[in-house]
A = this chain, B = another copy of it.
Amino acid sequence: MNGDIAPLDPASAEPFYRQIYERFRGAIASGVLKPGDRVPSARALTKELGLARGTIDAAYSLLAAEGYIVARGQAGTIVAPDLKQRAPLASPRPRPDAGAPPSFRPDSILPFQMGLPALDAFPRKIWARLGARCIRAMQPQDMLHPPVSGLPELRAAIAAYLHMSRGIDCAPSQIFVTSGYRHTVQLIAHALLKEGDRVWLEDPGYPPTRELLGHMHIAAVPVPVDGEGVMVEEGIRTAPDARAAVVTPAHQSPLCVTLSLARRLALLDWAAKGGAWIIEDDYDGEYRYISRPLPALKSLDRDGRVLYSGTFSKVLLPGIRLAYLVVPEPQVERFEQIHHAFAGGSPQLTQAIVAAFMAEGHFARHIQRMRKLYAERRAAAKAGLEKVLGPHVRIDTPPGGMHLILRLQGQRSDRELVARMRKQGLYTEALADWNIAGAEGPALLLNFTNIDSRRTAEELARRMLALLRS
């Protein structure tokens, strides 16, 4: 192409860079330039065409961005060698909405992956209907920065739900919508803690909390867990002056035990006396299969020491990225200030969909259905695993939660076993990875919500068995 390039048309409506771009595209499409062919350097072409270097650069950038040409450093610029196979970047993608809605492929879930709700049981049709409605109804105020603390209708729906379902009495103004648990913890840390502060963490406990606080230079004080939940008296003995405690009273994460009433009261008493904060991480308090869910610790909070953290990740979808925090009334102003400084709010659309889902009763119905489904799936998973794995494991049966704990018999390493299982596509977790100072285990953590039958459990168990035996 170099040498025989036709002069550009200065009278054209197309700017020069665009004309050059079209020339190259044409030459490539017609086969005049082939994959791997060298194209003139921008400098040479600049000289040849008598145009500004910037014009040539613009044309080449466009060609590169769309995948037609590739810079090869010293070797110069060439027509992309794999051009035929590759779809150019800017070309329209195949439309997924052509014809019928695409079929649902639950096989893309990794077996046992922790923290996931039953994706096949999610009410996708209702969700899509509400979503389409919310997006069509968009008004100017919906396009603006959403209120940083959350859409008023969503905050009101959450307050009503917490009142009924978790025994928490709070005003919508105490609810702060966040983009997830980590965001909630950050908000609390920025508002109430400072570098160097010490915070009780349950041991074992959810690893991301420790990681996050570590990055914020807040020191974790591990407090052991027994059959009654976190050992409050141990925390008081070790670090009476800690500024906060992160706890999971409904189902301890990951041991699933429930914090006893005596411990709840002791914890509240400690916080009230020392002016410390209790961060109640109620990540799946709804999912209790024996009797009805317990009221939240927050419902006992007479002194305004409890910050209640809830999330839609487990009861709806992790992909929705919505969670919330209930702040004691006297701290609301402080949190508003901090939340405003640090965040710009969650997307209007996702909040509007969840608010509609709650307001129309779908949320309560969905939880009700899932509670029943999870009780069944838990029983089926346990039976299937026990049948195949037999004496290699002992399976705990806690009152609630979304995972099973498989205690390994003998002194083997759960970490090493998990590494081998992941290679086989089995996404278990090692309890050892949830320990801080303690040595609970060895045990595997297995989410059961996506195991749809006892047969599936048995199949998965057979894949595990070979690894357990070796």
Contacts and interface: CB of A to CB of B under 8 A. Distances in A.
Interface of A: 10, 13, 15-17, 36, 50, 52, 54, 57, 61-62, 64-66, 70, 72, 75, 81-82, 85, 89-90, 92-93, 95-97, 100-102, 104-106, 108-109, 116, 119-120, 122, 124, 127-128, 131-133, 135-146, 153, 156-157, 160-161, 163-164, 167, 179-183, 186, 190, 195, 208, 211-212, 215, 217, 313, 317-322, 338, 341-350, 356, 359-361
Nearest to A98: B133
A347 B132 CA distance: 16
Nearest to A67: B160
Contacts of A116: 144
B92 A72 contact: no
A360 B157 CA distance: 37
B359 A346 contact: no
Nearest to A125: B136
A7 to B, nearest CB: 15
A349 B65 contact: no
Given A15-B81, A215-B338, A343-B182, A317 B143 contact: yes
29 contacts: A15-B82, A17-B82, A50-B75, A61-B163, A65-B161, A89-B157, A90-B359, A90-B361, A95-B133, A104-B140, A106-B140, A108-B139, A119-B140, A122-B143, A131-B349, A132-B136, A146-B321, A179-B346, A180-B344, A181-B344, A182-B342, A182-B344, A195-B217, A212-B341, A215-B341, A319-B348, A320-B347, A320-B349, A321-B348
Nearest first, the 5 A-B pairs at minimum CB distance are A180-B344, A131-B135, A132-B132, A319-B348, A15-B82
B128 A93 contact: no
Nearest to A53: B73
B345 A321 contact: yes
A137 B318 contact: no
A137 B15 contact: no
Contacts of A182: 341-344
A341 B211 contact: yes
Contacts of A13: 85
A360 B90 CA distance: 8
A142 B316 CA distance: 13
A50 B104 CA distance: 51
A134 B386 CA distance: 41
Given A36-B10, A61-B167, A164-B61, A102 B347 contact: no
